[in-house]
Amino acid sequence: MSEKATITIDLAKITENARRVIDALGGREVIGVTKVTCGSPEVARAMLLGGVSGLADSRLENLAGLRAAGITAPLWLLRAPVPALAEKTVSLADVSLESEIETVVALDAAAGRLGRSHSVVAMVDLGDLREGMMPGELPAFVKRVEALPNIVLHGIGVSLTCYGAIVPTAENLGELIQLTQTAEALTGRHLNVSGGMSSSLDALVEGTLPKRMDGLRIGESIILGVSTVTREPILGLHTDAIIAEAPVIEVMRKPSKPRGISAQDAFGGRPVFEDCGERLRAICAVGRQDAPPEGLRPLDAGVEVLGASSDHLVLDVDAMSTPPRVGDTLRFVPDYSATLRLFTSQYVDQRFI
């Protein structure tokens, strides 16, 4: 039994997932992404134990937390900073993903003041419409970066699937390689091809991941064990490294359809209910402020998630062989969205095993 909502993180499974991903990629560089866990040092260490080459996060606060925890591995900043944060970026991150030359110029000046160099990956947009310059802008960007004394162009990268849901394919990844070769002709040296994130593992499974792909930035597949294209298990990875638990605060038999005049719910929606007669229902002490209900898959047989308000998770438990009692705990496997919010919520405890 637990007194409040808790997430349990099995670090050994995360380590094993990292190792399996690295083995499957055949020696390519894997940067472990910690952002869904809000930069958890425990998860970061588990990834490093599994063999990732470095760690990446989208927020400087999380990188600062990793450094404060004594982690010395190379750190990548995934979300480009505003120029005003250039000095903090250079002091915390070894590599950052960049598409605006104004920001890179600020990073160069900050690196000069700090007496160090800073590496950047030039991001190009190949259809997903999140960050990245258009391909035709890359040559001019590369020339400007190469002229900066304290900036090292580490490679060329792409972001796919996260915003526009565009799947990595032989075509768009092949375009990334061609763009990298164009940049290499301008720099006269080898550049890293950073071929996207967890979604590129599907191209690996399908046999369409180009051999020239030097590395990937992998978070969700290592932590949750699924493809980010299909949300199905991939590469034989553990899909239960993170389990959410919430205590039951009410168990009662109630009608399945609300009674009265219907309006909007607390979040502006207009829910539709099927009349299934009276059903045994339970409420758990967790809500939309902590996790979207549609992102919680029950582990206990006979439990169905009906919905949630900000702080109540409403469940149908009529099919459970042994109905829960007040104070019992029900368990769920969270998807990416739920995991992100559970780690972010100050109302959810974390337990590492």
- Interatomic CA distance for residues 164 and 168, integer angstroms: 12
Cβ count near 139 (within 10 Å): 14
CB 158 within 8 A of CB 107: no
Q: Which of 4, 13, 35, 257 is catalytic?
A: 35
Pairing of strands 6-9, 242-255: antiparallel
In the numeric block, the tokens 């259809």 are attached to 127
- Interatomic CA distance for residues 82 and 104, integer angstroms: 10
Among 77, 10, 78, 79, residue whose Cα is nearest residue 50: 10
- Interatomic CA distance for residues 86 and 150, integer angstroms: 13
In the numeric block, the tokens 């670090």 are attached to 11
> 340-343 long-range contacts, Cβ below 8 Å, gap at least 24?
340/36, 341/289, 341/290, 341/291, 341/292, 341/295, 342/5, 342/7, 342/244, 342/290, 342/291, 343/7, 343/36, 343/37, 343/38, 343/40
- Interatomic CA distance for residues 287 and 296, integer angstroms: 11
Task: Return left, alpha or beta for 349; rule: phi > 0 is left, psi -120 to 50 is alpha, else beta.
Answer: beta
35 is catalytic: yes
Could you list the active site residues?
Answer: 35
